Structure 1
Amino acid sequence: MSDRVCVGAIAGAFGVKGEVRLKSFCAEPEAIGGYGPLFTEDGSRSFTVKLGRPVPNGLSARLSGVGTREQAEALRGTRLYAGRDQLPSLPDDEFYHADLIGLTVLDTGGTTLGRVSAVLNHGAGDLLEIQRPGKGNALLPFTRAVVPTVDLASGRIIADPPEGLLE
């Protein structure tokens, strides 16, 4: 597990005074403002965040060190990370996406299906992208019925995919 978790991304400039349109990946979008300084992926920059009002596809926000529209626009696409110690602990049946990536996926008989390479959400629920050696990638719905067991301590997921899903 990494010491930082991606909690949002800058979608571009908002207005002419250096505000950004911030896309929050948090369950409660406004929570992104309470995680202390947010860092770029490489850790080279950090920003304090002052949230504004909700805007289409995100929140308006002021970031420390960003004072012009051009500076805000230059940050478009930048992913923002919070220290794991700043995030709330989760109930036993919830997981941070970052913790699932890299886990080995086994079927209920113990056969290795692959490794989680990404967690996707296109609006209808989470999907695990499973990298299967020699077979290409597959998408697995991340539901209790299809994924009954996630064992972070042992680094594995037990899956019971519907017949024909991974063929």
Structure 2
Amino acid sequence: MTERICVGAIAGAFGVRGEVRLKSFTSEPNDIAAYGPLWSEDGKRLFTVRLTRPVTGGLGARLSGVETREDAEALKGATLWADRDKLPALPDDEFYHSDLIGLSVFDAGGVLIGTVRAIYDHGAGDILEIFGPGRKQALLLPFTRAFVPTVDIAAGRIVADPPEESEE
């Protein structure tokens, strides 16, 4: 299976003729339609995307094979995935979230902090969720140069400088 990157999600139906409300995860939201047909997460369905109009909370879109409001509602929450080779190459200091998940995170002294389990973006910048040995709860670390000076995808590791944690 070709490696794929999540580029959007279906937020629900829009209108009565099978249009969906699409949430784009691309840096330019309208680019989601330019990455060729998009796959369902399980790779069993392929959708051609045609954007129709901006809507509250996303984009209105027509997906191939989605003809009725019921078809569109059934897809609510589904993610859409593009083949990696259809996506633009990123500059050296930018990364696709899927490339970071699973990487080992070490402090500057080489001590394992944990593994990136998820990445969150609540509007003020990305946050890495790191979980690892001896941790009772995940470490949430801002994904900035100050806290994460080194990302080496090829070596499968991140060097981080987390703030001191209290022993509560």
TM-score of Structure 1 vs Structure 2, range by shorter chain: over 0.9
Cα drift, residue 133 of structure 1: 2.3
Structure 1 gap segments, 5+ residues each = none
2:135 aligned with 1:141: no
Which residue of the partner structure matches residue 33 of structure 2?
33
Cα drift, residue 166 of structure 1: 9.2
1:36 maps to a residue whose letter is: G
Give the 3 Å change call, closer, same or farther, for CA 72–134 of structure 1 in structure 2: same
1:60 maps to a residue whose letter is: G
SS at match of 2:72: helix
Which residue of the partner structure matches residue 79 of structure 1?
79
CA distance, structure 2, for counterparts of residue 7 and residue 166 of structure 1? 39
**Count of residues in correspondence between the two structures:** 166
CA distance, structure 2, for counterparts of residue 102 and residue 163 of structure 1? 23
Which residue of the partner structure matches residue 162 of structure 2?
161
Cα drift, residue 29 of structure 1: 0.5
Cα drift, residue 141 of structure 1: 0.4
TM-score by length of 1: 0.96
CA distance, structure 2, for counterparts of residue 63 and residue 53 of structure 1? 13
Which residue of the partner structure matches residue 24 of structure 1?
24
Which residue of the partner structure matches residue 54 of structure 1?
54
Runs of 4+ residues deviating >4 angstroms: none
CA distance, structure 2, for counterparts of residue 165 and residue 117 of structure 1? 22
2:33 maps to a residue whose letter is: G
Give the 3 Å change call, closer, same or farther, for CA 22–38 of structure 1 in structure 2: same
Which shows bigger deviation, 17-26 or 136-145?
136-145
TM-score by length of 2: 0.95
SS at match of 2:113: strand
Which shows bigger deviation, 127-136 or 50-59?
127-136
RMSD of equivalent CA atoms? 1.4
CA distance, structure 1, for counterparts of residue 139 and residue 113 of structure 2? 10
Give the 3 Å change call, closer, same or farther, for CA 100–74 of structure 1 in structure 2: same
